[in-house]
Amino acid sequence: MTETLVQVQKLAMDFPGQKLFNNLSFDVDRRDFLSIIGENGVGKTTLIRALLNQVKPTSGSIKFRKGTKVGYVPQFRNIERDYPLSIRDFVALNLQNGKMPWLSKMERTQLDEILEETDLVDIQNTRIGRASGGQKQKAYLAQALVDNPDLLILDESTASLDTVRKYELFNLVQHFNQQHDLTVISVTHDFDLMQRYSNRYLMLKEDHYALGEVADIKNEEDLLDV
């Protein structure tokens, strides 16, 4: 049975001289892997910010199923070489809620499990600032997943990565999608990434949008006409 996790209804966002999303409505069901695509400036990042409750839409609504926990992987942001945390400590930042300086036994288990599942065990003591770009993105992914979210939002998370690292990161996301029922929303410019990994797409254009099944799209040109 499908279980709707996110329900976006008649969303619109007005900025001076610009209107984004023409009454945008869509649902995201548990286990969906939705790619949000569209040209620069159509509002992809703004939509993500609205989903993360960082901006309030001018009209319309975004409803989450009660208890939905959301994880977020940002665009690549470089971390200074001297940043003092190890990869392990960096991933753990999302666990403690700032309440205690140490981790409970259960939290330590959660941390060990996510490091294992994201292939970071061998480099967990490496300083995050010294890690490669691909390792840093994996650490961001592990950080977003360590407290077991229902929904993961990725914003151009592979933009700085080469093809091998890009597939490595998304193979992991796919693993969590298929094995742990993680629901995924991924903003991307990358047609190949969308086609390989997602089951649905939301194409944003200046004055309309299109929702569809990725299986119906054979090549990039098909998206021009939607």
Ligand X SMILES: Nc1ncnc2c1ncn2[C@@H]1O[C@H](COP(=O)(O)OP(=O)(O)OP(=O)(O)O)[C@@H](O)[C@H]1O
Q: Which stretch binds ligand X (CB under 6 A): 14-22, 81-89, 97-105, 116-124?
A: 14-22
Q: Is 24 a binder of ligand X (CB under 6 A)?
A: no
44 binds ligand X (CB under 6 A): yes
Q: How far apart are CA 215 and CA 226, in angstroms?
A: 14
Provide the β-strand partners of residue 172.
none
Q: Is 193 in the site for ligand X (CB under 6 A)?
A: no
Contact with ligand X (CB under 6 A): which of 15, 93, 104, 113? 15
57 binds ligand X (CB under 6 A): no
Q: Does 18 bind ligand X (CB under 6 A)?
A: yes
**Closer Cβ to ligand X, 90 or 209, answer by number:** 209
Measure the CA–CA gap between 83 and 186, rounded to whole angstroms: 28
Q: What angle do CA 127, 141, 136 make, to 5 degrees?
A: 30
Contact flag: residue 41 with ligand X (CB under 6 A):
yes
Smallest distance from ligand X to CB 147, Å: 27
Q: Please select the residue that binds ligand X; options are 6, 8, 24, 42, rule is CB under 6 A.
A: 42
The binding site for ligand X (CB under 6 A) comprises 15, 18, 20, 38, 40-46
